[in-house]
Structure 1
Amino acid sequence: MERFMMFNDRTVDSSLVMQLSDLAQTLMRRRDVAIQFAAHSGVHCVKPVVYVSHFWDGYPPLERETAMKSDVGLRIIGTYRHTDRLAVRAFRHAVESRPLSKLSKQLFTFAEDLRLEAVCERERPGMKRWFRTRRRLYRRYFTQQWQANRTRGAWADQFLAGMYLRLTANSPLDDAPLAPMADEAVQARLETLWPQFFDASSTAEVADWAFAVVELMKDVLPHDMVNAYTSLPIVEDDADENTMTLQDLKRTNPLENRDALQEADGEAKRQLLPTWHRETSRAGGSFLRFELERGSRTEIISDEARPGEDGDQALAVVKGTSRPTARNEYGLEAQASFSEQPPAGNSAPYGEANRQADLVLLPSSPNLAHLEQYRAKQAAVAPYRKRLVRIMEQWLEHKRSAWRTNLPVGRLRKQLVSFFTDERPRLFYKKGEPTRRFDAVFGLLVDCSASMHDKMEETKTGLVLCHEVLKTLRVPHQIVGFWEDANEAAASRQPNYLQMAVSFHRSLEPSSGPAILQLEPHEDNRDGLAIRWMTEQLLKRPEAQKVLLVFSDGEPAAYGYEQNGIIDTHEAVAEARRRCIEVVNLFLGHGADDESTRRTIENIYGRFRVFVPHVSELPDRLLPLLKTWLQKSL
């Protein structure tokens, strides 16, 4: 499917994120620390989450990696351990009611970060290189911002840029003018005030210094800052939730008018408001709730109302664990919504990102149309199958019939010249070992998401070829398609379907192939979940050599899976490889030459990926891998 509109095509570097995650877990000494990307860096005050700034995305790879590592080290070693949270909270509340609040917050944050950088360098001298790169990149950026804000007349932004350049200057010649817009008296007082920052040894002292600087500049700067270069490093996004009470949830705004309508004669007019649309899985049982701010009071009561109970959903945003009531008009609809709740527990066997995923295994049921299509594809791939099988059989025959000569023991050779010419002759040989069965098993995963729409036919042709080759060589294998139902996915449950096209115990049967043609593109894909599931199936097999082939376009996308889909899939691949399973991605069809797609797949699978624009090229790409895997199994 061609992506004609894409607002954010930023590719996640899974290797870099894994490095940052390992670094954060090591520094914080916790295994549950998560790395997330945000506009500005920070650390959560309650959750084990470290935020890395998107500011570094535009820099070259080496500088970007070093700067992001400095974010992690600064937030954990510095902010998490040496920042006074009460002082930060008091500062946040104090500046809200003062002028130039944006300037105050950002000046305080940069000053506190510079204080913490010195602390980190004392505790971890190895971080000095990171912070030197960090300050160099910031100085280059703020040098440009100082000139740009001067041209635009954004004095507060210009003042912040000048202050950062002054605080990080390595030489008096590097000093930038702090406040060229101020008079000489203010500039003289400012020249005396700003060096006092280097005497600050705590968060509270840095806050007092920032207050004093902003208080001096409040009469000089007519407006607050325009841009947000940073934010307070301690994230407290649940502060408002803690102060919310039940009365706040039940609050209703009064009507703007206080009049009332007289009771009308006859029946009131009723209006049907249907809520079904094409993405709604069940057409009945929907209800609407309105927040009315205008209108007149009336005493009209509908005769279709039902008595309320404590178990009813009073608010759509408040969903508890109550059960269906005795007077429920919605019946099966409400019962289905309760039956879909996942079981309680904190286990996440398929990864933290797939905690709410619900696996549904679908059996194969091919029809006559699938049988006819399979025969056509079987005939199309027959030359390639014969070529692969012939090469593998020739290699096996060579291994079987090849003699090993010049051995100290074995059968005596007919040529005995070396007995007279060599000091230590080797006159014996051994015949090749008899042909053995391949001790290998293959798992083939097929991405059945909507993005595979234009690649599915080529993919199914490649699957037929792989199935025929493995079946001829008597190698057991399993072919499974996977996708997620986007219409049914919610925060509490994400149904993921696995279509068993070919199972292990039926893979060598002559009639096991037509079920491959059942695989069709559906909606979303959760690759990490499917890889972990197939890894479990392969580990149950007794074969020594285990191979997992993933037919996917390398772009996992599902409910709540956009930010960490590539990372979760990369972790699933790494876990499978740690368990001695060969994991390789096969990309078939249009789009294999796209640079963005290639970069995404390389981030997930590393160098173990195969790009095949057309199925006719698959034998040449697959033969070296197949030969290597089967050699290991003998």
Structure 2
Amino acid sequence: MHRFIDFNDEKTDTLLMLELSDLTKTLTNSDLYEAEIRVHSYLSKRDHKVFVSHFWDHRPEGIKKPGMKSDVYLRAFGNSSFTDFQAVDEFRDILAASPIPRFAGQLLMLAEDLRIEEICKKERPGMGSEFNVRRNIYMEYFESQLVVNLEKNLFADALFNLVYLILNSNSPVLTIPSFNPELDEGIPHIRSHLENLYDAKSTRDAAVTCLNTVERAASVLHSDMINEYFHLPGFEQNLLDDISFSDLVRKDPLQNDDFAEEKAGGDEHVYEEKMRTWHREAERPGKSYMQFELDQGTKTDISGGSEREGEDGDQALAIVQGRSKRTDKNEFSKMDINRPGESVASGGKSSYGIANKNARPIFLNAQRQGEESTAQYMKLEKEVTFYHKKLKNIIERIMKKKETDHRSHLQMGRLGKNLVPFFTDEHPKLFYKKSQPGKEIDASFILLVDCSASMFDKMEETKRGIVLFHEALKSVGVSHEIIGFWEEANEVTKDDQPNYFLQAIPFSMSLQQQSGPEIMELEAMEDNRDGYAIRIVAERLLKRSENQKFLIIFSDGEPAAFDYDNGIMDTHEAVMAARKKGIEVFNIFISNTGLEFEQRKVFENIYGNRSIIAPYVEELPDVLFPLLKRLLSQSINI
């Protein structure tokens, strides 16, 4: 696919990202964490993300992969286990008063990275090789950046580059270039402060040393840094659910801090009302809310009397009633809290992947086609007659041959005519058995057709391949289904993403003689959410009783849909999940402008060695014929 603008055509290495995500889950000891590419590397506990830096992109494989893995080591193992985020937050608060906050924030991140790197290598020596690659590349990078920033008179940036070289140099003698008279005089003092970082035992120790260094650097720097080499994250590095119950209790005083003199007599009436509220766990907010802001009032000792001490059997979300006494209120403890369609384990929304949690399927049936569509179909059928008749003859010959073939040299069965081995062999095998293959091919197919907008100029030629698929399987009596899929971009919202599945040829009609013109109803529509579509049709295929199940996907490009930035990885995961369940998944890539290297790499990452390339759409029948021949041949019972 040739693009007019190609400068931002970044491709995700799906297999590498899956490897980094698995590594992240292992090191954090949590299945919630994922790896993701960002400009800078840092840990977000709130989002359960380990961000890997773009710094390692466009480098040789021997550098890129170890570099990215070193980012994961530092965040998933180092920051997660050995960084004191409270000390980082306190340091961030102090930065507001600093004249060089960018320099200060990056200095702390650099110091913390170096500190936890040594801990990582000590705790897990196997990480050493990746960290060596990291340090060598960063040394070269900061050496070049030092020269560039000095030429531009960006002294704060150049000083930071020098700080990195000082802290990581293997030589006790480091040549320090000249900045300006004022900085040249202050650098020895800054260096003496930096040496204390080698003795830092904690994040707080590193923060104290960085503050002293920043205070000295601020006296000789007249501007802050321009570039950002290390990122000081905000509060996203802390988990919101780390707060304790005492943090939720109101602590601000009332305007009047008095207490009622009259004691409660015990005959007071405490009224209970249900107030509709909204929170992020609710499916839909209501239309009315009640908000309380109590700034003044008098405190009393009257108790509502409805609370009771919690018990082991209470559910986490249950509503408590009564104090150790029978009540006529609803017994919530016997209700099923899990709502249909929400549980991952019960096959709810999240079972189709996190990226598809708001997607929903809408199945459409093909309409009865008129004379014009039937005429178009007959024309395409005539063009592919040679292929499907040839395929039918090949399959029939294979099946006939297997009916007459027999297996010889067996220890039991029918006695063969050649009895010489009885006299010559120590353990003669004189028997044979006739094979008894089934008369039918024990397989079912689903052809999943990408109906995204990018198929607009390819759909007509693609239908030739689909007609060949249908007629060939129909001729040899193999049940199949042809489904077109797309996501309706005009109907998509953040909380609802309708995905349409047009059943052009359902299983129930696939072997009927008059079926076929419905294929003409397939048209280019909107977006394509491939991972979700694969999971949906895989469920349909798994319900079939045939022994072998094949899913063939016709596509012309990468997944592209609303809020589907990780579509390549999601599609790869969907393919792998289907294969683990016994479904053979193949992709047929079709194009009318040739194939670029990057596109080939993307489809290999998603489908592995089962991505078949049709560089030009008119070659589709030639590509599809040998695939069908091989799959049908292996589906004949032995």
TM-score when scaled to structure 2? 0.79
Specify the alignment match of 2:342 in structure 1.
Answer: 345
Cα distance in 2 for partners of 1:234, 1:431 equals: 74
Cα distance in 1 for partners of 2:561, 2:578 equals: 22
Q: What is the deviation of 1:627? A: 2.2
Q: Aligned pair 1:372/2:375, yes or no?
A: yes
CA contact 1:419–1:425 (8 Å) conserved in 2: yes
Specify the alignment match of 1:82 in structure 2.
Answer: 82
Cα distance in 2 for partners of 1:121, 1:216 equals: 32
**Aligned-partner SS, 2:525:** coil
Q: Aligned pair 1:166/2:180, yes or no?
A: no
Aligned in 2, Cα 1:432/1:85: closer, same or farther, shift over 3 Å? closer
Structure 2 residue aligned with 1:583, among 563, 585, 593? 585
Cα distance in 2 for partners of 1:216, 1:619 equals: 73
Q: What is the deviation of 1:408? A: 4.8
Summarize deviations over 1:345-376 as a string: whole Å, max 9, x none.
Answer: 36412111000012111111142122111111
Q: What is the deviation of 1:504? A: 1.2
Write out aligned runs for 1:115-130 (5 A): 115-130=115-130
Aligned in 2, Cα 1:555/1:366: closer, same or farther, shift over 3 Å? farther
Cα distance in 2 for partners of 1:629, 1:30 equals: 43
**Aligned-partner SS, 1:321:** coil
Cα distance in 1 for partners of 2:373, 2:340 equals: 38
Summarize deviations over 1:72-119 as a string: whole Å, max 9, x none.
Answer: 121122112211112111111211221111111111111111011011
Summarize deviations over 1:30-52 as a string: whole Å, max 9, x none.
Answer: 11212222111111132322111
Write out aligned runs for 1:209-608 (5 A): 209-233=209-233, 235-236=235-236, 321-322=285-286, 345=342, 347=348, 348-368=350-370, 369-411=372-414, 428-561=431-564, 563-608=565-610
Percent identity among equivalent residues? 41
**Aligned-partner SS, 2:394:** helix
CA contact 1:162–1:177 (8 Å) conserved in 2: no
Cα distance in 1 for partners of 2:152, 2:133 equals: 29
Cα distance in 1 for partners of 2:390, 2:231 equals: 63
CA contact 1:459–1:589 (8 Å) conserved in 2: no
**Aligned-partner SS, 2:609:** coil
CA contact 1:552–1:585 (8 Å) conserved in 2: yes
Cα distance in 2 for partners of 1:209, 1:629 equals: 71
Matched letter for residue 398 of structure 1 = K
Cα distance in 1 for partners of 2:526, 2:553 equals: 18
CA contact 1:95–1:101 (8 Å) conserved in 2: yes
CA contact 1:454–1:589 (8 Å) conserved in 2: no
Write out aligned runs for 1:42-61 (5 A): 42-61=42-61
> Could you tell which deviates more after superposition, 221-230 or 155-164?
221-230
CA contact 1:70–1:131 (8 Å) conserved in 2: yes
Specify the alignment match of 2:11 in structure 1.
Answer: 11
**Aligned-partner SS, 1:58:** coil
Matched letter for residue 494 of structure 2 = A
Q: What is the deviation of 1:436? A: 2.9
Cα distance in 1 for partners of 2:341, 2:437 equals: 55
Q: What is the deviation of 1:147? A: 0.9
Q: What is the deviation of 1:343? A: 8.8
Cα distance in 1 for partners of 2:627, 2:455 equals: 26
Specify the alignment match of 1:205 in structure 2.
Answer: 205
Gaps of 5+ in 2: 244-275, 277-282, 289-338
Specify the alignment match of 2:186 in structure 1.
Answer: 186
Aligned in 2, Cα 1:427/1:574: closer, same or farther, shift over 3 Å? closer
Specify the alignment match of 2:310 in structure 1.
Answer: none
Specify the alignment match of 1:72 in structure 2.
Answer: 72
Matched letter for residue 104 of structure 1 = A
Matched letter for residue 23 of structure 1 = L
**Aligned-partner SS, 1:18:** helix
CA contact 1:357–1:495 (8 Å) conserved in 2: yes
Cα distance in 1 for partners of 2:178, 2:610 equals: 54
Aligned in 2, Cα 1:322/1:187: closer, same or farther, shift over 3 Å? closer
CA contact 1:584–1:608 (8 Å) conserved in 2: yes
Cα distance in 2 for partners of 1:357, 1:157 equals: 46
Matched letter for residue 526 of structure 1 = R
Q: What is the deviation of 1:521? A: 0.6
CA contact 1:419–1:427 (8 Å) conserved in 2: yes
Matched letter for residue 220 of structure 1 = V
Q: What is the deviation of 1:221? A: 2.1
Matched letter for residue 107 of structure 1 = L
Q: What is the deviation of 1:149? A: 0.9
Q: What is the deviation of 1:235? A: 4.9
Q: Give the CA RMSD over aligned residues.
A: 2.9
Specify the alignment match of 1:21 in structure 2.
Answer: 21
CA contact 1:163–1:178 (8 Å) conserved in 2: no
Cα distance in 1 for partners of 2:184, 2:8 equals: 47
Summarize deviations over 1:608-631 as a string: whole Å, max 9, x none.
Answer: 111122444534554256424542
**Aligned-partner SS, 2:470:** helix
CA contact 1:592–1:611 (8 Å) conserved in 2: no
Aligned in 2, Cα 1:611/1:510: closer, same or farther, shift over 3 Å? same
Q: What is the deviation of 1:582? A: 0.6
**Aligned-partner SS, 2:503:** strand
> How many aligned positions are there?
542
Matched letter for residue 451 of structure 2 = C
**Aligned-partner SS, 1:35:** strand
Cα distance in 2 for partners of 1:364, 1:355 equals: 27
Matched letter for residue 571 of structure 2 = T
Aligned in 2, Cα 1:177/1:616: closer, same or farther, shift over 3 Å? closer
Aligned in 2, Cα 1:72/1:422: closer, same or farther, shift over 3 Å? closer
Cα distance in 2 for partners of 1:2, 1:185 equals: 56
Cα distance in 1 for partners of 2:460, 2:48 equals: 45
Gaps of 5+ in 1: 243-310, 312-318, 325-341
CA contact 1:418–1:425 (8 Å) conserved in 2: yes
Summarize deviations over 1:16-38 as a string: whole Å, max 9, x none.
Answer: 11111111111111112122221
CA contact 1:488–1:494 (8 Å) conserved in 2: yes
CA contact 2:413–2:432 (8 Å) conserved in 1: yes
Aligned in 2, Cα 1:381/1:156: closer, same or farther, shift over 3 Å? same
Q: What is the deviation of 1:407? A: 4.4
Summarize deviations over 1:449-476 as a string: whole Å, max 9, x none.
Answer: 0112222122211111011111111111
Cα distance in 2 for partners of 1:549, 1:239 equals: 43
Aligned in 2, Cα 1:136/1:407: closer, same or farther, shift over 3 Å? same
Cα distance in 2 for partners of 1:557, 1:237 equals: 30
> Could you tell which deviates more after superposition, 49-58 or 213-222?
213-222
**Aligned-partner SS, 1:236:** helix
Aligned in 2, Cα 1:93/1:183: closer, same or farther, shift over 3 Å? closer
Aligned in 2, Cα 1:123/1:375: closer, same or farther, shift over 3 Å? same
Summarize deviations over 1:551-603 as a string: whole Å, max 9, x none.
Answer: 11241010100x21101101100100111111110113414522222111111
Cα distance in 2 for partners of 1:379, 1:463 equals: 13
Cα distance in 2 for partners of 1:238, 1:424 equals: 73
Write out aligned runs for 1:96-115 (5 A): 96-115=96-115
